[in-house]
Amino acid sequence: MILRLDLLRHGETELGGGLRGSLDDALTEKGWQQMRAAVIKQGPWDRVISSPLQRCARFAEELAGQMGLPVAFDQNLQELHFGRWEGQSAAALMETDAEALGLFWADPYSFTPPQGEPVAEFSVRVRAAVARLQAAYAGERVLLISHGGVMRLLLAQARGLPREQLLNVEVGHGALFSLSVDADGLLREVH
């Protein structure tokens, strides 16, 4: 059976753009509005699964409460850990670490930010979490509230993009995409 997995990215956060990674900052009022607007006339879902970081988890709790749905949190669906780059913007990194940032942009699988999580390990972590969801909830429609990196990874794989194009996948704040996940783990984008 197929799992329908709707992916929702968190909204704008209090500490602004840049590489948020494992930083646990809260949503702004605009961020709440972005997420609320994204789910209007969407669903229905059978359950909500979320990253435990508050920029995802607080909205997951609110929505699940309003819809009377079960909600669960999975740390394996957290954002990529950017190591020493956490909290920094691309503009700031261009000033201090331009060569390394260029290597990361060119092929994030081949260059890991200093003290960061390798994208290959991140991919294994996220894909294993999705496989567990597929095994547990096949036949259901699940809303997964997560991060830009998690969504880029899954969308790039569903679209059959080469790994070097991972960072070319556009995922704005409050963006909602849909995937189907079959029993073999094959991802397909649903329009």
**Domain total for the chain?**
1
Rounded Cα gap, residues 70 and 130, in angstroms: 17
- CATH number assigned to the domain comprising residue 144: 3.40.50.1240
- Looking at residue 181, its pLDDT comes to 98
Per-residue pLDDT band at 16 (split at 50, 70, 90): confident
Rounded Cα gap, residues 117 and 112, in angstroms: 7
Q: Return the beta strands (E) in the chain as ranges.
A: 3-9, 47-50, 71-73, 141-146, 176-181, 187-190
Q: Which residue has the tokens 């990253």?
A: 51
- Looking at residue 50, its pLDDT comes to 98
pTM, to two decimals? 0.96
Asked whether 189 and 155 are in contact (CB, 8 A), the reply is: yes
Between the alpha carbon of residue 73 and those of residues 51, 162, 171, the distances in Å are 6, 30, 21
> Residue 112 belongs to what domain range?
3-190
Q: What is the pLDDT of residues 53-76, one digit of tens each?
A: 999 999 999 999 999 999 999 999
Rounded Cα gap, residues 115 and 84, in angstroms: 6
